[in-house]
Structure 1
Amino acid sequence: MINTVIFDMDGVIVDTEPVHYFAYQQHFKHLGVDVPDEMYATFTGNSTKNVYQKLKEAFQLLDEVDGLVDYKRELFNNAFDQKEDLDLLPGVKDLIVDLHSNGMQLVLASSSAKVTIGRVFRRFDLYPYFTHIVSGEDFPKSKPHPAIFEKAAELSGSPKEECIVIEDSTNGIKAAKAADIFCIGYKSENAVLQELAEANMVISHFNELNFEKIKNII
């Protein structure tokens, strides 16, 4: 029986991808680099630090990675604060409340930095529902490496067989599978070039899930 649900954040709980995209594009222009959409799509699920490590290698950037990350984060934070129409994805808050009220443990495992997670959780009052928050900035390798989900399962205190992951990205699904955790792929309308075939099941709206369905999913 499932007793822990591990949520990704970007593209699953809240669609910050347009904000990230805007910030990245501003920064790419500033750096004078042309990043094709196909290459950008491979960054989904990666930490910002890992994205800039890849960009530094691909475009022989002279800037230090930490400085690049800080600059992009400032661009993102400014855009985030100005975007009044930013909202949770349809149905996800109802699912979170339903799972929490029925005693299901919820853990966040996001590639986002802690400061970004904090902005989202404060804006939408999500802290009361989650027992643990795991940020990708604490790991040397990003998804598809399984470390973040292995840590989330460890913190939950539940065996992996009693956990599931909800993900929207190819890299996230690969990470869940590598961690040997059942994975639900969320097919967001805003997901670009993401392949969900490796997920154990795929949904297109969170109203397809509830406590009873998840509890007995395996």
Structure 2
Amino acid sequence: MIQTVIFDMDGVIVDTEPVHRYSYYKQFEELNIEVSEELYTSFTGNSTRNTFQKIKDIFNLDQEVEDLIQRKRSIFNDAFDTKKDLELLDGVRNLIVELYQNKVQLILASSASKVTIERVFDRFELHQYFTHKVSGEDFPQSKPHPAIFEHAASLSVAPKEECVVIEDSTNGLIASKAAGILCIGYNSAHSKNQDLSIADHVINHFDELNYVLIKDMDSKLCNY
């Protein structure tokens, strides 16, 4: 029986992707570099640090990675604070509350920085539901490397066979599989060109999930 649900954040709990995209492309313009849609999409699920490490190498930038990170974070924070229409994705709060009320442990495992995670959790009052919040900035390698999910599972009250990840990105699903954890792919309209075919189950809306369906998943078969 599933006892722990590990949530990604961007594109799963809240649609901050347009804010991230705006921030990155504003900075790309400042750096006078042209990042193709294909290249940008390949960064989905990566931490900001790993994204800029790759950008620095590809475009041979002189700036230090840490300076690039801080500039992007500044642009993002300004945009986040002024975006009044930013909301949780449809149905996800109901699912979070239902799982919490049924004593399912909830853990966040996001590539976002700790600062961004706290801003989201403060704005939408999510702190009470999650026992742990794990940030990708604490790991040298981003998704699809499994480190973030391996660590999240180590914080679970149950063995990893009784955990499930909810992800919207190809890199996130690969990371979950590499960690040996069941995964549900969320087909988000906000995360483009993501391959969810390796997920154990795919949903198009959070109304398709509930406590009963999740708790009965096991490590061998998903019978929805």
Q: Could you state the TM-score of these two structures normalised by the residue count of structure 1?
A: 0.99
Whole-angstrom distance in 2 between the partners of 1:167 and 1:57: 28
Q: Match for residue 157 of structure 2?
A: 157
Q: Match for residue 205 of structure 2?
A: 205
Q: Secondary structure at the match of 2:212?
A: helix
Matched, 1:38 2:38: yes
Cα displacement (A) at 1:126: 0.2
Provide, for residues 41-63 of structure 1, a one-character-per-residue CA deviation record: whole Å limited to 9, x for no partner: 01110000000000000000000
Q: Match for residue 12 of structure 1?
A: 12
Q: Match for residue 125 of structure 2?
A: 125
Whole-angstrom distance in 2 between the partners of 1:205 and 1:214: 14
Cα displacement (A) at 1:189: 1.1
Q: Match for residue 101 of structure 1?
A: 101
Whole-angstrom distance in 1 between the partners of 2:108 and 2:151: 11
Structure 2: gaps spanning 5 or more residues: 219-224
Q: Between 186-195 and 76-85, report the one with greater CA deviation.
A: 186-195
Contact 2:105 2:157 survives alignment (8 Å):
no
Contact 1:14 1:88 survives alignment (8 Å):
yes
Letter of the structure 2 residue corresponding to residue 39 of structure 1 = L
Q: Secondary structure at the match of 2:109?
A: strand
Structure 1: gaps spanning 5 or more residues: none
Q: Match for residue 134 of structure 1?
A: 134
Contact 2:5 2:106 survives alignment (8 Å):
yes
Whole-angstrom distance in 1 between the partners of 2:59 and 2:154: 38
Contact 1:132 1:156 survives alignment (8 Å):
no
Cα displacement (A) at 1:191: 1.3
Cα displacement (A) at 1:94: 0.1
**Paired residues, what number?**
218
Q: Please, what is the CA RMSD of the aligned residues?
A: 0.5
% identical aligned pairs: 61
Whole-angstrom distance in 2 between the partners of 1:193 and 1:53: 23
Spell out structure 1 runs of 4+ moving beyond 6 A: none
